[in-house]
Copies of this chain bind each other. A is one copy, B any other.
């Protein structure tokens, strides 16, 4: 994270507010969470939360950014063999989520997207555009936006199925096994050959 020019004291308070915000949004969902509530959890005055972040949408966006760290993630995803991009991506996301029995704030932020239009728009911006859209545009592939959206959709589905819906087989599978299944799919979406639409041939089984 780039904190150049920010006072250490202010940075710490800002981070405490963001941690409280991620926790509050994760637990209560986007709609039910108020600025006042976040301020109370962080132990600061609500006016300070407003001064740092403005409104609830901006606070949510900052919390999402703090969890995803898009600059860092994009650099990490692009730094390494192109043929193992899918593996780096799923490893990064599973790492962010943590243990299945104790999911971190990312899950709550993603769940907020399913039930709130503003939260959905912000998650969309981050996952598909800020993160994966920047990756596909740097890769120079065809259909960069669609590829980013398909990869984002696969990740959202994996995350919800494993951590929210808690499908038994996905909970039982460890990160290495999941990576083995999902990495080639993400790789295909991000760098594989685009399908020929209307092609009636059977796909490889």
Contact = CB atoms under 8 A, between A and B. Distances in A.
Interface of A: 29, 81-84, 86-87, 111, 113-115, 120, 123-124, 128, 143, 145-146, 148-150, 152-158, 160-162, 164-170, 172-173, 176-177, 180-185, 187-189, 191-192, 194-199, 202-205
Contacts of A153: 154, 157-158, 160-162, 167, 170
Given A114-B160, A160-B157, A203-B86, A195 B169 contact: no
Contact of A157 (B123, B157, B173, B180): B157
Contacts of A160: 113-114, 153, 156-157, 160
A125 B95 CA distance: 27
A170 B156 contact: no
Given A114-B111, A124-B165, A157-B155, A150 B181 contact: yes
Number of copies of this chain that the complex holds: 2
A188 B149 CA distance: 19
